[in-house]
């Protein structure tokens, strides 16, 4: 057996580590006392969340702000497999929807997403999910292997589900919340210069400019941005910023190729290679406007990587990204990467899918009693929550 292929087999053994863990201290590029901007989330009346930043801590307790969710981090990491240096490791599945081309690596729910379900790939994917339910992930790995790395749930069809192997989150500690306000000033004071006459209905009874008036909306007058309209001014993290990432090796052992032990080992090495490549790559510094984070190199900070064993023992994890990539290439060649595909979104399949959903809604078949599952799902609405709310 090629020793290059077996070099990380201890990560697949029952006696091996339960997980690999990275704790990385980050800092804004402007410095540790700079302002950064957490994501803003829509209000959730069901649990009393008013919307805005997700900051935990009551009263005088230290406040912890969520800077990047598990789903958002996955969204930032997974598309790396479409880049030239990594593209050969996975099948490149591209869906043509109208004038737009979408790589499956960018799909919100990966192999379980509506965009791929409504293509000629649908029968093959449904069969792959059924095989997954029967304990064989090979077919899914041939079509969408990153769905096995970042988690997937075929919630609209077979209900097949695989947990996320890589979970990464960024939080800021002991934060101070800031607010901000703004004032729009037009290029020219159109009324004062006599270019335009002020409309009679521009101001309310108190003489304040009505922000929704066309005169204000089109930029022809000064418009103050009030507190209710713009209150989020970012946070300052007095307690620092940290990214916590985990590669769950114990969960990787759940991925099987049926009862064939050799095929299972080959499949697990392939998925492990992809996971190690994603896990060891330094994340991009850009999170969002106003939040550009880099490694904190101050004394006592930096990055700490560990192999964590079931008995709690911790050993330094020292695999470099270059080593992980070399292994992933060998493991991918041994497994046999699935073919690249270009498929077209079929509107008739979408219509049939919608009709099926209406039928299920009336009959109460699928989708009922799935609330708890949805909350736990690693690949459902959470995945693109940040992109939808910012």
| Structural domain includes residue 322 | yes
State the chain's maximal CA–CA distance in angstroms. 86
| Structural domain includes residue 182 | no
**pLDDT value at 57 more than 50:** yes
Cα separation values, 223 from 210, 214, 219, 226, 227, Å: 8, 12, 8, 9, 13
pLDDT classification of 227: cutoffs 50, 70, 90: low
| Structural domain includes residue 179 | no
Domain shared by 193 and 265, yes or no: no
Last residue of a domain, one of 198, 226, 254: 226
Encoded tokens for 5: 């292929």
Number of compact structural domains in the chain: 2
Q: What are 299-343's pLDDT values in tens digits? A: 889 889 999 999 999 999 999 999 999 999 999 999 999 999 999
Q: 131-140, 262-271, 368-377: lowest mean pLDDT where?
A: 368-377
Domain shared by 62 and 161, yes or no: yes
For residue 53, the tally of other CB atoms under 10 A from its CB is 18
361 vs 215, residue with greater confidence = 215
From the number of C-beta atoms within 10 Å of its C-beta (0-12, 13-18, 19+), residue 353 rates as: middle
* DSSP H/E element including 75: helix 70-77
Torsion sign, CA atoms 65, 386, 360, 134: negative
DSSP 199: P
Domain shared by 313 and 370, yes or no: yes
DSSP 257: B
pLDDT classification of 238: cutoffs 50, 70, 90: very high
Domain shared by 214 and 355, yes or no: no
Q: 75-89, 107-121, 283-297, 352-366: lowest mean pLDDT where?
A: 352-366
Domain shared by 215 and 258, yes or no: no
Q: Which domain holds residue 197?
A: 188-226
| Structural domain includes residue 46 | yes
pTM given for the model: 0.83
């Amino acid at each position: 057996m090629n020793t290059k292929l077996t070099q990380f087999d201890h990560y697949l053994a029952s006696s091996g580590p339960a997980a690999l863990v990275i704790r990385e201290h980050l800092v804004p590029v402007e410095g540790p006392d700079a302002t950064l901007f957490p994501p803003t989330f829509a209000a959730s009346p069901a649990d009393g969340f008013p919307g805005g930043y997700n900051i935990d801590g009551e009263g005088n307790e230290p406040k912890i702000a969520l800077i990047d969710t598990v789903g958002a981090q996955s969204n930032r990491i997974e598309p790396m497999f479409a880049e030239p240096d990594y593209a050969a490791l996975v099948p490149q599945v591209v869906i043509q929807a109208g004038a737009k081309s979408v790589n499956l690596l960018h799909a919100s729910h990966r192999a379980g997403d509506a965009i791929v379900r409504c293509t000629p790939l649908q029968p093959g994917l449904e069969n792959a999910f059924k095989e997954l339910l029967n304990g064989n992930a090979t077919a899914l790995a041939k079509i969408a292997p990153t769905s096995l790395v970042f988690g997937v749930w075929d919630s609209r069809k077979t209900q097949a589900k695989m947990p996320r192997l890589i979970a990464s989150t960024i939080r800021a500690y002991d934060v101070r919340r800031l607010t901000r306000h703004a004032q729009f000033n037009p290029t020219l004071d159109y009324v004062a210069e006599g270019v335009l006459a002020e409309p009679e209905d521009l101001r309310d009874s108190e003489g304040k400019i009505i922000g929704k008036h066309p005169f204000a909306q089109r930029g022809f007058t000064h418009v103050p941005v009030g507190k209710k309209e713009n209150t989020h001014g970012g946070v300052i993290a007095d307690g620092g910023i940290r990214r916590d990432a985990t590669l769950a090796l114990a969960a990787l052992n759940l991925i099987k190729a049926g009862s064939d032990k050799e095929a299972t080992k080959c499949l697990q090495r392939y998925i492990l290679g992809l996971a190690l490549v994603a896990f060891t790559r330094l994340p991009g510094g850009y999170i969002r406007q106003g939040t550009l984070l880099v490694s904190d190199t101050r004394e006592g900070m930096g990055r700490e990587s560990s192999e964590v064993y079931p008995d709690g023992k911790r050993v330094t994890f020292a695999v470099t990204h270059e080593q992980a990539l070399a292994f992933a290439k060998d493991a991918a060649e041994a497994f046999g990467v699935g073919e690249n595909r270009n498929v077209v979104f079929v509107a008739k399949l979408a219509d049939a899918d919608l009709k099926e959903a209406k039928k299920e809604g009336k009959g109460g078949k699928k989708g009922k009693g799935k609330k708890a599952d949805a909350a736990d799902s690693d690949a459902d609405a959470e995945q693109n929550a940040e992109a939808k709310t910012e």
